[in-house]
Structure 1
Amino acid sequence: MDLLDQALFEWFTLKKSEGGCITGPMLQEKGKEFHKKMNIESECSFSNGWLSRFKIRHGIRTSDLSGEQKSADHEAVDKFCSVFQELVANKGLTPDQIYNAVETGLMWKCLPNTTLASVDDKVTRGSKRNKERITVLLCANASGSHRVKLTVVGKCAKPRCFKGIAHLPVGYQSQSNAWMDVDIFTRWFHHIFVPSVKVNLRRKGMKENSKIMLLLDSCHAHPPAEELMNGNIFVCYLPPNVTSLIQPMDQGVIQNVKMLYRRDFMRKMTNFDGTILEFQKKYSLKDAIYNVSCAWDSVKRETLRRCWQKLWPLVMFEEGSEDEFKEFSTHGMRKKVYDEVRELVDSARDKMPLSRFDLDEWLNVDQDAPVTHTLNTEEIIQAVENHGKENQAEEESDEEVEEVGKISWKNATAAFKTIFAFAEQQPFLTSQHVMQLYVMQNLTLHERRRAFKQAGQKLLKKATQKAASASTNPDPQPSTSSAAGPQPSTSSAAGPQPSTSSAAGPQPSTSTAAGPQPSTSSAAGPQPFTSSAARPQPSTSSAAGPQPSTSSAAGPQPSTSSANLDDLSVVAGDLYFYSS
């Protein structure tokens, strides 16, 4: 029965977020339906008493049950605007301290319909359009001075096109259907929004514990307000029946981002050397992420401020005057981008016989794309029963990804020289653009030198450890051997020799080769305790005279000089530096 209770409350929450009408009898009938489909053996009457207990368990008030379908109306808008402005005044909030966040669906790989009938691609008109979708979360404050880094929700946890990438310009999350959900939004709030806001407060010289309001719509992917609190950062929800009329980001910002994205998409497509379908196959999620991030950065500050005028008209006069906005309008921006896309299409008319109608339809193809999924009865039951058991695909299977090997420092440095030469010759690039390239080059050279230094240090450390190990742990030699191999307790042809001597010099307790000696060795015969000229021996003498605890000049040395190690590390480091 606990699972039934969870499933029914989930259904109630979804319907409420949609502004749908829900009555007590509806809850009772829906409870009976869940009971039957979940094959629950224990009986339940779903009486009025059961309904009262269900409402108490979940904190459902009588006002939450309504027999009237709510719809967007201007009376409710006026009422909320008054409440909002009073809240702002009471909290002493400025436009820098009030944010709005909203999700939107983006069909990132979608082509205009007519391009599918291109002669080059040999595809008939009406072919199935690519509707791969991602969810994009946008957030900015009312002054337009701070836009939070985008968050993108895709289907795959580890897309192949992300391989080898150290940083993305967005926060990336995955969900099996690329929907926004409560878990993802909660992570975004605590790990992206809150830290970003605090950094912006410090940048502006404001106290880090200043009050911040985040305005949200009533999407069921947004958790309750009490779960979205962090110090003085809190959430205010729009009523479900006014969202489409006064939510700031819906008043032109989303449209701007999508049009700028499609302009850049079209620009890449018209400059691609190949067919349109080949371009579509090679265009990856990574390309889409960089494109949508550039589009977000290209939205003007005036646009971000202007979108608040219906909810909070005074924001227009907090900084500057209305003169700033005389030349600005959403329609004007749309027309400008439309003309740019039209020009790109005309320049590639042999590739894309695109009509004005097809272009209009493509620019607005995902205008109403959903960002969350409204579960039906079966899906709610499955979600409740399989909570925490979902497995997401880690990699994309149908995306054509061009493998890029690791770029060496040497090749990267050479590439900078080429791009500099190009940039300096182009009139459309300013000196500021060229200086940005110089900054990137200087940073690259600095990191290259640091990598070289670290490689040398690692090699030096390794060689020093090896030398120290050799000096503290020499090869044990209880008895020495001749060049022919170890000869324990052996004697020469002349007789047994208990002690050794060199053939060249006088040795204590030895005799010459002319006569028998009780404790000597022959110059010609093998010596049981002598040292070979090719190997170091403890407590032996060389041909030049007695040398305690030394080795021959031809053999390895147990300790190495630091000068030799330094030379070794520099040579190895140079090899790494110039060959990598």
Structure 2
Amino acid sequence: MTGKGRKITSLTIKQKLEIINLVNQDKISKNEVAKEYNCDISTIHRILRNQKEVELSVTRNNLKRKRLRQSSCNKVENALLQWFDQMRATDAAISNAQILQKAKEFAIKMNCDFEPSSGWLWRWQRRENIQYKKLQGEIADAYHAQAGTFRDSLLKDILKDYEPCNIFNADESGLFYKALPNGTLCKEGGKTQKDHLTLLFLCNADGTFKKVFVIGKPRNSRCFNEKDPPVPYYSQNKAWMTVSLWSMIMKEFDREMGKQKRKVLLFVDNASCHKVNGLCLENVKIEFFPSNTTSVLQPLEQGVIHCFKFYFRKILIRKLILSTEKGESIKEFLNSISILNVLTYIKRSWWLVTSETIKNCFRKAGFPFDGNRFDCIEEVCDTIDIPMEIEEFQEYVACDNNVNCFGTLTDDEIVECVLSEDNEVCQSSEECPTIDLGPPSFAEAINALSIVEKFMECNNIEGDDVDLLEEKLFKRRFKNFHQTNFTSFFN
């Protein structure tokens, strides 16, 4: 058959992302987009169908690439990439010979029939946007800027193009989520110090945007029961922040800012897991604090994280008091705490940290915003409404300040991490309670609320919040029923 064939236009990853944004965000018709990019309408439909795959490819790949070819041994390449990022984060010099040797070692550990070659190395480097650069006397930590110099000379210039709502800070902190105060309260709880999570806090300078991301050991914990966790949760065999997790979170944050049509500035410390070679972000500019100055310059470390832990510890102690009043031992209480419970406590505690606290801590760190400079955290952290001395409680709040949130993985740990991605069963010894009584009924919820209301009446406590909860329960109940008899609500 003769005739003029269709012209095939190959689009780069960057162009595909632009097309997705034009159609989904700017609401431009597909025909107009096809005409602008000189391609067929079917190409536009195919790009939109594969939107998730295109967006995920941006994390590492060269945006000028036009195809996403898969390697014959992806697991080896994934392990090699984690090793490469980890080495470069420490400013280590890496040669091609080292990469080939390490790829061969990973193939043997993973029982893959794979022999790395120079041609494969060239293709892998192109796929992962890795470029060879000659070192010119590169010395790690050659420049140690003092916090005062950074604040007085550099910070104002860095911030000049950004409003406070578009200036962000992110920082990790460890959390012993089952730790109890020292003394007789926790004689049975010595083992709880091993139960920890890593939390990544993210907020902007005016406190209008704040998120927390949680990293734990359990992969598919039974307590989730196919439910979405209350806050973003990621699994890592040491509950550490890694280069791959950081890249994943940053890409999601970048997409969220893109949907809001915002260009933002993110300040982070010089942790090795934050230094990602080839990380492509369209809407987020990452600025690193000078080495050894984060304890002074990092806003989250000026009291925001401390306030969060203050609220978290108060919630945990209150739950312990309720448990003991029901006749449960401390061991039974600790065993009853699931990851899902903890994520709920984390969400609540982070919500309780006010925007004013966040603003104050940015000012304390030296960010030149309007308002008074505060040298102390919110007054709420000076008073507690639980039976403990304030000094003892503050010491308890700070019990996990020195927990490692990241580290260097061995080759075997990298292999285990890559292979575990295909494992659907949680290998952690930490399990949730096996007894599942199901959700309480509407009648049980109303009955429990009436008991609370009676208790408040007997103790002269205003019950406005109880009335509000009752209203919410009835609204939810009526929402699930249409044109039914009144008595059926109590059956």
Please state which band the TM-score falls in when normalised by the shorter chain: 0.5 to 0.7
User: Residues 143 and 31 (structure 1 numbering): CA distance in 2 closer, same or farther, change over 3 Å?
Assistant: same
Q: Secondary structure at the match of 1:309?
A: helix
TM-score normalised per structure 1: 0.57
Q: In the alignment, which residue of structure 2 is the partner of 1:258?
A: 309
Q: Secondary structure at the match of 1:140?
A: strand
Q: In the alignment, which residue of structure 2 is the partner of 1:150?
A: 212
Structure 2 portions without partners, runs of 5+ = 1-71
Q: 2:178 touches 2:334 (CA, 8 Å); kept in 1? A: yes
Q: In the alignment, which residue of structure 2 is the partner of 1:134?
A: 197
Mapping of residues 162-173 of structure 1, within 5 Å: 162-163=224-225, 169-173=230-234
How many matched pairs? 407
Q: Secondary structure at the match of 2:261?
A: coil
Say whether residues 1:292 and 2:346 are aligned partners: yes
TM-score normalised per structure 2: 0.65
Q: Alignment RMSD, CA only?
A: 4.6
User: Residues 425 and 153 (structure 1 numbering): CA distance in 2 closer, same or farther, change over 3 Å?
Assistant: farther
**Counterpart among 293, 298, 315 of residue 247 in structure 1:** 298
Q: In the aligned structure 2, how far is the partner of 1:379 from the partner of 1:394?
A: 14
Give 1:209 shift: 2.5
Say whether residues 1:577 and 2:483 are aligned partners: no
Say whether residues 1:307 and 2:361 are aligned partners: yes
Structure 1 portions without partners, runs of 5+ = 200-207, 348-354, 457-569
Say whether residues 1:329 and 2:415 are aligned partners: no
Q: In the alignment, which residue of structure 1 is the partner of 2:171?
A: 102
User: Residues 81 and 152 (structure 1 numbering): CA distance in 2 closer, same or farther, change over 3 Å?
Assistant: farther
Q: In the aligned structure 1, how far is the partner of 2:224 from the partner of 2:115?
A: 50
Q: In the alignment, which residue of structure 2 is the partner of 1:450?
A: 479
Q: Deviations over 1:526-545 (max 9, x none)?
A: xxxxxxxxxxxxxxxxxxxx
User: Residues 405 and 78 (structure 1 numbering): CA distance in 2 closer, same or farther, change over 3 Å?
Assistant: same
User: Residues 42 and 138 (structure 1 numbering): CA distance in 2 closer, same or farther, change over 3 Å?
Assistant: closer
Q: 1:97 touches 1:211 (CA, 8 Å); kept in 2? A: yes
Q: Match of 1:102, as an amino acid?
A: D
Q: Secondary structure at the match of 1:400?
A: coil
Q: 2:201 touches 2:213 (CA, 8 Å); kept in 1? A: yes
Q: Match of 1:329, as an amino acid?
A: C
Mapping of residues 355-370 of structure 1, within 5 Å: 362-370=396-404
Q: 1:284 touches 1:401 (CA, 8 Å); kept in 2? A: no
Q: Match of 2:446, as an amino acid?
A: T
Q: In the aligned structure 2, how far is the partner of 1:401 from the partner of 1:59?
A: 51
Q: In the aligned structure 1, how far is the partner of 2:275 from the partner of 2:488?
A: 53
Identity, in percent, stands at 21
Q: In the alignment, which residue of structure 2 is the partner of 1:159?
A: 221
The range that moved more, 241-250 or 167-176, is: 167-176
Mapping of residues 77-96 of structure 1, within 5 Å: 78-79=149-150, 82-89=153-160, 91=161, 93-96=162-165
User: Residues 448 and 212 (structure 1 numbering): CA distance in 2 closer, same or farther, change over 3 Å?
Assistant: same
Q: Secondary structure at the match of 2:332?
A: helix
Q: Deviations over 1:60-98 (max 9, x none)?
A: 4345873x4428833487358744432321x2x211121
Q: Deviations over 1:313-354 (max 9, x none)?
A: 312x2xxx31xx56x6049766x25xx48x62469xxxxxxx
Q: Secondary structure at the match of 2:284?
A: strand
Give 1:42 shift: 6.8
Tell me which structure has the larger Cα radius of gyration: 1
User: Residues 84 and 382 (structure 1 numbering): CA distance in 2 closer, same or farther, change over 3 Å?
Assistant: same
Q: Deviations over 1:473-506 (max 9, x none)?
A: xxxxxxxxxxxxxxxxxxxxxxxxxxxxxxxxxx
Mapping of residues 474-493 of structure 1, within 5 Å: none
Q: In the aligned structure 2, how far is the partner of 1:329 from the partner of 1:149?
A: 23
Q: In the alignment, which residue of structure 1 is the partner of 2:470?
A: 441
Q: Secondary structure at the match of 2:422?
A: coil
Q: 1:104 touches 1:137 (CA, 8 Å); kept in 2? A: yes
Q: In the alignment, which residue of structure 1 is the partner of 2:92?
A: 22
**Counterpart among 233, 236, 241 of residue 180 in structure 1:** 241
Q: 2:176 touches 2:400 (CA, 8 Å); kept in 1? A: yes
Q: 2:79 touches 2:106 (CA, 8 Å); kept in 1? A: no
